A and B are shown apart, each in its own frame.
Chain A
Amino acid sequence: MAITKDEINQANAEVLKIILSAKPTLIGMGTAGEDIPGMTPTTILHSGPPVDWEHMSGPQKGAVIGALMYEGLAKDDKEAEQLAASGKITFDPCHHHCAVGPMAGIVSYHMPVFIVENKEYGNKAYCTFNEGLGKVLRFGAYQPEVIERLKWLQDELYPIVKEALAICGEIDLKAMISEVLQMGDDGHNRNKAGTSLLFRKLAPAIVQTHFTEEQKVKALKFIDSNDHFFLNLTMPAAKCTMDATFCDVNPKTKGSTIVATMARNGYEFGIRIAGLGQKKWFTAPAEIVEGLYFPGFTAEDANPDVGDSCITETCGIGGFCMGAAPAIVQFVGGTPEDALNYSRQMYEITEGEGTTYKIPALNFRGSATGIDIRKVIKTQIRPVINTGVAAKKPGVGQVGAGIVHPPMKCFEDALKDFQATYMS
């Protein structure tokens, strides 16, 4: 029997309730191999919807090469490329393993990961350390210093932060994200306040760990020097929030038209819908980001949109909270008024408003939450995402930042599939 409009609205209200009642909490650290479900020594997770080696974008290929060298599975880039193309490596989206990764989003067996639990629903999400800016794996760099830094993250920073978290206890990320929105962050491309609050929490615990003064100072300096350190916590916080909305996890959301995932691999943009389950991706070619390029670079140097970080927008922060982060326009372009307008416009396409994530400049209005594919199609307004831009050539790094939208085709195909699933 065909679903009714009332049943769809009821399912969407349930999804909104699940999003708003989520309790993402940092519970500790582990490693991808030991903690992420389904990992094997030859599994490489990547950002976005499924993609094979042949179709991977430049930054993602570069990051795979780096990860294979980091894991000791290849001795140089040539050997790594041969191995990646050999069929002996299992490539799978982070999203299929309760994980998320910024930009190339590469996660391999020995990488340390934050473990974030949604305390309300019991599901977990995982994300690696943020490596900082410049030549880093997530932008496709694999020079010796990149691999050396990854080894330091694994051998030194990971045990220090793990022990510090055991000392300071679990961290309520929902409360922390709510606070940083009052301090000029959006939780996606501006994370200065979030990194600072996390630093305040971790620093007293880090100094109590058993490591040497030199090791502790190096760890604290690394966290302090990286304004995006907190991004790798807002992302799994949003991930474990949204994963609880899928109808194959919670049957009450069967019939929902709310978007549960948005992600890109630099080749395609993909979305998944709460009421259509975790197995169905709706994809279309990823777009080029419109924004500001660093000196010496132009749109010609840019790779199409890449990364899992737009899980933040899916959850109602990031671009949806740009009005809370006026300074971000100096990074992504536009004016503070544009930032407010982006936040205002998103209310046209969402199911409701946040009760914890709020925007001070909109009289503390809750952020637009729960993207409804019906409203996107009706209004032709696409979700707004602010994002970094990776160079299409592996190893170059970030070349700019700006605004991008999911292709409308993703929503059109999802709507048609929803009709075929529920109306026939």
Chain B
Amino acid sequence: MENRVNVLFTKKIQIVNFGIKSFYDDNKKQGIPSVHVDWKPVAGGNKELASILDDLL
């Protein structure tokens, strides 16, 4: 069976980048069409604080 990832890389790539902006910056430098979404996990991934927010927000 053909590997679908390999098929993907034979096509023109357009990227939506979530989170770490340096990945987006690198793509832009290489001329790859990219959109950056400024996203962070709730409470920066801190489970204790995220759990408190579940009760309060």
Contact = CB atoms under 8 A, between A and B. Distances in A.
Interface in A389-416: 412, 415-416
B50 to A, nearest CB: 8
Main secondary structure of the interface of A (DSSP, over half): helix
A208 interface: no
Interface stretch (A63-71, A106-114, A263-271, A377-385): A377-385
Given A377-B49, A412-B49, A419 B56 contact: yes
B53 interface: yes
Range class of the B interface residue count = 10 to 19
B43 A377 contact: yes
A2 to B, nearest CB: 8
B31 interface: no
Contact of A419 (B40, B43, B46, B52): B52
Contact of B56 (A379, A380, A412, A418): A418
A8 interface: yes
B52 A378 contact: no
A423 interface: yes
B42 interface: yes
A221 interface: no
Contacts of B55: 2, 5, 419, 423
A415 B40 contact: no
Contacts of A5: 55-57
A8 B52 contact: no
Range class of the A interface residue count = 10 to 19
Interface string A249-284: 000000001000000000000000000000000000
B43 to A, nearest CB: 5
A365 interface: no
Contacts of B52: 415-416, 419
Contacts of B57: 5, 374-375, 378
Interface string B17-45: 00000000000000000000000101110
B56 to A, nearest CB: 6
Which residue of B40, B44, B46, B49 has the most chain A CB atoms within 10 A of its CB atom?
Answer: B49
Given A377-B53, A380-B44, A416-B52, 6 more contacts: A5-B56, A8-B56, A377-B43, A377-B49, A412-B46, A419-B55
8 closest pairs, A vs B, by CB? A374-B57, A380-B44, A419-B52, A380-B40, A377-B43, A377-B49, A378-B42, A374-B56
8 contacts: A5-B55, A374-B57, A377-B43, A377-B49, A380-B43, A415-B49, A415-B53, A416-B52
